[in-house]
Amino acid sequence: MLSYVEARNLIISSLNTLEAINLPISESLHHTLAEPVIAPFEMPLFDNSAVDGYGVLVNDLINADLNNPIELKLIGSLEAGTKNLDGQPRIKLGECVKILTGAPVPPGVEAVIMKEYSAFEKQTDIGLFFKSVSKGENIRKQGEELKRGDRVIPANTRINAPVVGMLASLGYANFKVIKQPQIAILTTGDELIEPGQNLARNQIFNSNSYAIEAACRSLGLSQLIKLHCIDTREDTIEKMTQAIEFADVIICTGGVSVGDRDLVKPVLEEDFKVETILWRIAIKPGKPVFFARKNEKYFFGLPGNPVSALVTFHLFVKPALMRLQGVAPCDPAQNRAILSKKIKKKAGRMEFVRGIQKRTKDDNLMVEPTRGQESHMLSGLAAADCLIHFDLEDEVLDENTQVEIQKLDWQNY
């Protein structure tokens, strides 16, 4: 059986980045940049003021302080958006010009002194100034942030709020991004009914459909359909056909093990002629994971147990969805923590033990396994914020040993 790392690498390397499309920037959130963002002009484009204040000459205020206020004569005023600087007289010694935040700083002005260090009597144009200034003070210099042609953000960056802001501030109305994968979630099982219906004793609610949808939406992926099939070949074929019609990625849950009614794998292989990349991984939860490909469509068969479905989504589907959008795979185990209590397992499968991170009194990171570790016990996963890596051949992890933990952050990769 493949190990976790082998399976993960195999899945990631079987995927091709989806095509690039041009999108209005207000629709670009949660997409990936298909090309680097280049500054089409320098930033700032013109010298402008960082504060509300007065443009002055440095020499005028050399000795200014609270006990020695200096008088300057106001000769003009500039607001943000002021178009024409040509009509403005150039300040001379003994003069100042009012400049508001973001307004252009006219040639000749050496510094902007904050309004707070000045006092003007009402209706007069003579003001008192209480502080000296240095050359360039409170002036945002033309080109100080970016030169024309600078690479501001590299390709393959996920677009978040600051990136959208950056695109807008550089004047891009549209930008080239990688298309988001369209996803079909196909749940399987005769025993499942939808929340809101009356539950008979032999039934359970279909939670995977909602949980996997939420996991996709948490990553900003909302082009999805949800389908459910009962455990017959006909229905599996029919729903799979609909799934394939819509989606780039088909995420099935249940029906991938070795039971008589586990039809996902046989139907995909025999009726849809997919190329199986892997089936079964030496992990717990999630041993029966199935992954296949046909043309540019990708198929995940996740286990039916709700914890297994979500954990394997996190371990394998998430990096795949990111890879399809051109995001480089990142190292899944990011942290080490002290285990709060002894845990045991059999050798032969790597376990992902659901844990909660805590800070000890001396500020060390500690991790506590949650209650309810069985793969049908969603409560244990809902309480967890990380997965403790319990390696393939290990059988015991003692209290107070250092363990590797992988954050369970559903919003981020």
Query: Which residues of this protein are in contact with Mg ion, per CB under 5 A?
Result: 189, 254-255, 304
Told to check if 236 binds ligand AMP by CB under 6 A, we report no
In this structure, which long-range contacts are made by residues 162-165, counting pairs with CB atoms below 8 Å and at least 24 apart in sequence? 163/33, 163/37, 164/25, 164/26, 164/28, 164/29
Shortest distance (Å) from residue 251 CB to Mg ion:
15
Give the number of C-alpha atoms closer than 13 A to the C-alpha of residue 361, restricted to the C-beta side: 0
Rg (C-alpha) for the chain, rounded Å, is 31
Q: Site for ligand AMP (CB under 6 A): how many residues?
A: 19
Q: Which of 49, 209, 312, 406 binds ligand AMP (CB under 6 A)?
A: 209
**Structural tokens at position 203:** 């039934």
Q: Which does 24 bind (CB under 5 to 8 A by kind): Mg ion, ligand AMP, none?
A: none
Sole window of 74-82, 106-114, 174-182, 253-261 interacting with ligand AMP (rule: CB under 6 A):
253-261
Identify which of residues 161 and 258 has a Cβ nearer to Mg ion in the complex. 258
CA distance 406 to 343: 17
Identify which of residues 53 and 189 has a Cβ nearer to Mg ion in the complex. 189
Show contacts with ligand AMP in window 351-380 (CB under 6 A): none
Most distant CA pair in the chain: distance in Å?
Answer: 94
Told to check if 303 binds ligand AMP by CB under 6 A, we report yes
Sole window of 304-312, 327-335, 353-361, 380-388 interacting with ligand AMP (rule: CB under 6 A):
304-312
Identify which of residues 208 and 236 has a Cβ nearer to ligand AMP in the complex. 208
Q: Which residues on adjacent β-strands are paired with residue 185?
A: 226, 251
Q: Which residues on adjacent β-strands are paired with residue 32?
A: 158, 178
Q: Which of 55, 104, 127, 255 binds ligand AMP (CB under 6 A)?
A: 255
Shortest distance (Å) from residue 232 CB to Mg ion:
12
* Residues 6+ positions from 209 with CB-CB distance below 8 Å: 185, 187, 226, 228, 253
Q: Which does 207 bind (CB under 5 to 8 A by kind): ligand AMP, Mg ion, none?
A: ligand AMP
Q: Which does 206 bind (CB under 5 to 8 A by kind): Mg ion, ligand AMP, none?
A: ligand AMP
**Structural tokens at position 324:** 């399809």
| Four-CA torsion 240, 244, 248, 253, nearest 10 degrees | 0
Q: Which residues bind ligand AMP (CB under 6 A)?
A: 187-189, 191-192, 204, 206-209, 253-255, 257, 259, 303-306
